[in-house]
Structure 1
Amino acid sequence: MNLFYLLSLILFLCLSGNAASADNEVLSLLRELKAEVGELKQQLDRSNSRIGELEKKLGEYRASKPEIDKPGKEITQAPETVASSPAKQDDKPLVTLGDVKGTFKIPGTNTSVGIGGYVKTDLLLNSVSAGADKLGDQKLLLSQIPVGGASGEHSQLTFHAKESRLWFKSFTPSAWGDINTYIEMDFFGNPGTYNYTPRLRHAYGSIGHFLAGQTWPTFLNAAAIPDILDNGGSAGSLFLFRQALVRWSQPFALAGTAMEWQTAIEAPRSRIWDSTSPSANSNDPNAYSFFSNPDADRYPDLVTRLNFSPEWGTLSIAAMGRQIRYTDSKLGLKQEAWGGAVSLAGKINVFNLDNIRFMAHYGNGHGRYVSTDNTFSDASLDNEGNLYLTTSYGGMLAYQHWWNKQWRSSVVYGYDQAEQPDWVNQVLNQEVQSLHANLLWSPVNQAVMGLEYIYANRKLLDGREGDLQRLQFSARYNF
């Protein structure tokens, strides 16, 4: 209305000040302005009418809504009904998608959490049994292959679901970088065939480039692990174990290629063949372990690794230094020696989805990192208390072929050898090798089924050897 009066005043002044000389063009302009003002007034009336209708509907809604906001009023609605009522603008949804695929955010926080894993059932037909309640019948352990005509059960059948896994992870942004945590477990905690004891596999956290916890050792490039059904791993590869460590990872680029430098201090654990120990001199070549862990470690294992990530795959070079230490307070004996090792590993994409994976290693004093559990020692202790590091070396080569998007196969061969002093027990391992060949089918992303043939061999220092042939069927369902 004020705009209407203002325009009327302007019209009056114009007409009174120069009525005689006003031309038709000015009068026409003033008439148009008056018409527009009238139209605006009509729109305002219609808006006021619509507001009145909405206020009436809001009053009817409030009259029918349960009084859950009044102090002392008991809430009688079901939780899902209350949650579906209109929320205030500053209320947050109960569940929102997380910042990482497959996660959701904890209400009221910036933390994204996820849960997953898989259920896996393995059916294994072994040419010869490793023995009652031995892990060697459930996954490949080269040190448990029967040797020298051992009277193990032939055509032995094992069913188990111990490799089934469960994991939890979280991601939280911070001014210091993303804070990530990860925990994973399986059920290999007890060697008994029908004993499903949970076992911690991974448990670590990281902030930015700094990681601390239990996970794959830095000396191992996990991207080079072959795609096989067997959980024990191949000869020639590094032992697929996890240990506590503290690690820094620094990404950078060189000539346009993504690279990463990692350095870590990791949990030490010396594995020694002790000539003075009765168990180390057993004449039974099928004894599970001839080694002792003196628990006298003083320095952590020191590891550094350089990772290359070109377009054609990934490649890593790693070096490790570690102290092997032995003490005996009763004899007043203290022996220690520093050893080291190097490794080369990677995955090379060849064509389509096919790829080549490989690992190679050489060093002394790194037997604990080699092949499967208890294959070689880190060092040997003679009768005079002298400590000799064990030199070992080997390699693994795998080729994976994709027949189509659902079917794939891998062929993997690996070999390891250790150089032992002449005076050690001659039933210790001199060399091991294995061959894996499989056919896997994934009808959907959440399921994998397959058949795998395994041949493995171990040879002792005295020349005796043993073979294992295994046919394994596995079914895995991811969630």
Structure 2
Amino acid sequence: MHSRPRLLLTIASGVFPLAATATDDVRALLRQLGDQVAELKQHANQADARIRELETRLAAEQQKNRQLTTQASPAANGVVAVSASPAANPTEAKPETKPPVTLGDTKGTFKIPGTDTSLGFGGFVKLDVNESSVSAPSFGDQYLSISNIPVSHRGEDSQLAFNARESRFWFKSFTPSAWGDINTYLELDLYGAAASYTPRLRHAYGSFGNFLAGQTWTTFLNELAAPDTLDNAGPVGLAKFRQPLVRWTQPFKFAGESLDLQLAAESPNSTLWTGSGWSPALGTLTYDNLTTTGDDRYPDLIAKLVYKPDWGNLSLAAMGRQIRNANNTSGAAREAWGGGVSLAGKINVFELDNIRFTLNYGNAIGRYSSVNRLEDAALDSAGNLHLVNVYSAVTAYQHWWSNTWRSSFAYGFEQADQPDFVAATMTRQAQSVHANLLWSPLPQATLGIEYLYGSRELIDGRNGNISRAMFSAKYNF
């Protein structure tokens, strides 16, 4: 009986200390939780205070913005503003608008807003400084003019001339159409008058598809074969001039090769030798023994075949034209048909180097040689026309020393088989030499020096020559 109470006392004495220990742990945990709750409450109070502070600042900023808006509104200045859309949301994004000017279809052009026409303009400013061995009249001190080379040294011993007449401005446009691209081109320089910088029309033409009409290089010329010279006229013997014309260009393939056939009708202008000085028959004063009659009835007809392989460019041109004079001492119109042929090209050789050449022959190509300084025909005392055979040749080699340095060496020659009755003062033969060094550090700038020599021989054997050193600075825009 006494063993059970003793056992219960033993168990109770072990359990109560354990219970007491568990109670202490719970109390410690509760105190810890209470401290954490107090700390969280403190953080919450701090956050509430910060929120209230931010709300106060926001309200102040909104009030400030409302005051500024009220001051800037039309109503604040006595102007009543009418809302186009009262329900519109001021924060709604506006639709994207197209820029007023966009790039054109070709490099360097822009489009007229609302159209498909691309416009472009450009040109260059060029200064030429020429030191000549003899003085030459008119434009002879500014570019090589064969007829202005003094004979028997009638000019000064030397001459220094500055000019910027070759500076140019051009304007072009491109418009796509169902008939092909409609293109226009207009270009001016400042060679209009010897005594002033009067603008002169160089090119003015338009084209659509294969058809071109306006003023540009004659079809008889292969402009790619013209040497790269600082002198504006270039070597003797080039048909380097522009005139009004209409032209059709037809591309085609032959034996797998691409070719162009060009057919042109160009402005006629019969150039005659009619004697020296005053011409009673024509009632005009002849210039350098040459005159243009103004009696033409048919255009100059030219056909040219152009071959464009990878290694260069070749062309073969043929021309037929009528030379006519209606106002002469015989009282009857005199006329004769003549023509000429031209073979020209540019052949690439080593890297960027190339050879250029032009060969011309004909009995009616006087005005197509050396810028209209030889006659197409000579008029005898009876008023009869005698066509004049003319030969000319130009050859050049262009060498590239580097991507920015280049040189051209060019030679030109021409000769006219003058009739026996033509005055001894007429030009029979002429030639020229050009050699230059050009530096283009940038695509927009070229500086260069050039030496040229020109000579002419008259029918009576007298001759004259000119040598010239040139410096040129050219800046494109």
Q: TM-score, normalised by structure 2?
A: 0.78
How far apart are 1:436 and its partner, in Å?
0.0
How do 1:10-159 and structure 2 match up within 5 A? Answer: 88=95, 91-131=97-137, 134-150=138-154, 152-159=155-162
Cα deviation code 1:86-111 (max 9, x no counterpart): 7645x532111110111011110000
* Local SS of the residue matching 2:422: coil
Deviation at 1:332, TM superposition (A): 1.9
Task: Name the CA distance, whole Å, in 1 between partners of 2:139 and 2:380.
Answer: 31
Q: Please say if residues 432 and 457 of structure 1, whose CA atoms lie closer than 8 Å, have aligned partners that are also in contact.
A: yes
Paired residue type of 2:203: H
CA offset digits 1:244-300 (Å, max 9, x no partner): 0000001112223221000000000000011386369xxxxxx96211111000000
Q: What one-letter code is carried by the residue in structure 2 that aligns with 1:191?
A: A
In structure 2, relative to structure 1, the CA distance for the partners of 1:66 and 1:320 (3 Å cut) is farther
CA distance, structure 1, for counterparts of residue 275 and residue 333 of structure 2: 15
Question: Any idea what SS the aligned residue of 1:136 has?
Answer: helix
Q: Which runs of 5+ in 1 are unaligned?
A: 1-59, 75-84, 281-286
For 1:420 and 1:406, locate their aligned partners in 2 and report how far apart those are by CA, in whole Å: 45
The corresponding residue for 2:16 is none
Distance 2:354 2:339 in 1: 30
Letter paired with 1:222: E
In the alignment, is residue 404 of structure 1 matched against residue 402 of structure 2?
A: yes
Is the Cα contact below 8 Å between 2:149 and 2:464 reproduced in 1?
A: yes
Output one character per residue of 1:12-33: Cα deviation in whole Å (capped at 9) or x when no partner. Answer: xxxxxxxxxxxxxxxxxxxxxx
* Letter matched to residue 236 of structure 2: A
2:468: which partner in 1?
Answer: 470
Q: 1:226 to 1:73 in 2, by over 3 A?
A: farther
Instruction: Report if the CA contact (8 A) 1:143-1:372 is conserved.
Output: no
Kept after mapping to 2: 8 A contact 1:141/1:373: no
Report how far residue 373 of structure 1 moved: 3.8
Shift of 1:197: 0.2
Distance 2:171 2:311 in 1: 31
Q: Is the 8 A contact 1:120 1:164 kept in 2?
A: yes
The corresponding residue for 2:307 is 308
Q: 1:467 to 1:288 in 2, by over 3 A?
A: farther
User: Would you say 1:178 and 2:156 are equivalent positions?
Assistant: no
Tell me if the contact between 1:442 and 1:449 (Cα under 8 Å) persists in the aligned partners: yes
SS of alignment partner, residue 154 of structure 1:
coil
* Secondary structure, counterpart of 2:179 in structure 1: coil
SS across alignment from 1:336: strand
User: Quick check: 1:316–1:346 contact (8 Å CA) kept in 2?
Assistant: yes
RMSD (Å), alpha carbons: 2.3
> After superposition, what is the alpha-carbon deviation per residue over 1:331-356, rounded to whole angstroms, capped at 9, x for unaligned?
52310000010000010000110000
SS at match of 1:368: helix
Q: Could you report, residue by residue, the CA deviation over 1:70-98 in whole angstroms, capped at 9, with x for unpaired residues?
A: xx979xxxxxxxxxx97645x53211111
- Whether the 8 Å CA contact 1:102–1:114 is kept in 2: the answer is yes
Larger Rg: 2
Corresponding position of 1:377: 375
Q: Determine the structure 1 residue equivalent to 2:201.
A: 200
- Amino acid aligned to 1:109: T
- Aligned amino acid, residue 263 of structure 2: T
8 Å CA contact retained: 1:189, 1:199: yes
Contact 1:359 1:396 in 2 (8 A): yes
**Aligned-partner residue type, residue 242 of structure 2:** R
Give 1:283's aligned residue.
none
Residue 278 of structure 1 aligns with which residue? 278
The letter of the residue matching 2:134 is V
Which deviates further from its counterpart, 288-297 or 176-185?
Answer: 288-297
Q: Given the superposition, is the C-alpha separation of residues 73 and 117 from structure 1 closer, same or farther in structure 2, using an over 3 Å criterion?
A: farther
Matches within 5 A, 1:251-266: 251-266=251-266
Query: What percentage of residue pairs aligned between the two structures are identical?
Result: 57
Deviation at 1:237, TM superposition (A): 2.0
Q: Note if 1:227 corresponds to 2:228.
A: yes
Q: Which residue of 2 aligns with 1:353?
A: 352
- Distance in 2 (CA, whole Å) between partners of 1:349 and 1:225 is 14
Kindly report which structure 2 residues correspond to 1:325-340, keeping only aligned pairs within 5 A, or say none: 325-328=324-327, 332-340=331-339
The residue type equivalent to 1:420 in the other structure is: Q
Would you say the 8 A contact 1:276–1:383 is kept in 2?
A: no
For normalisation by structure 1, the TM-score amounts to 0.78
Which residue does the alignment assign to 2:169? 166
Call closer, same or farther: CA 1:218–1:358 in 2, change over 3 Å: same
What CA distance in whole angstroms lies between the structure 1 residues aligned with 2:94 and 2:133? 66
Change (3 A) 1:86 1:331: farther
Aligned pair in 2 of structure 1 residues 309, 129: CA closer, same or farther (>3 Å)?
same
State the alpha-carbon separation in 2 of the partners of residues 118 and 276 from structure 1: 41
Counterparts of 1:137 and 1:326 in 2: how far apart (Å)?
34
* AA in 2 matched with 1:153: E
Given residue 291 of structure 1, which amino acid in structure 2 is its aligned partner?
L
- Do the aligned partners of 1:446 and 1:477 also contact (CA within 8 Å) in 2? yes
8 A Cα contact 2:377 2:385, kept in partner: yes
Preserved CA contact (<8 Å) 2:275 2:289: no
Q: Distance in 2 between matches of 1:330 and 1:273?
A: 14
Total equivalences in the alignment: 390
Contact 1:184 / 1:201 at 8 angstroms: preserved in 2? yes
Q: Deviations over 1:409-432 (max 9, x none)?
A: 000001100001101111101000
8 A Cα contact 2:330 2:383, kept in partner = no
CA contact under 8 A between 1:125 and 1:156: conserved in structure 2? yes
Deviations 1:214-245 (A, max 9, x none): 0000000111111000001111222x111000
Is this contact kept in 1: 2:132–2:467, CA < 8 A?
Answer: yes
Letter in 2 for 1:166: F
Distance 1:379 1:422, change over 3 A: same
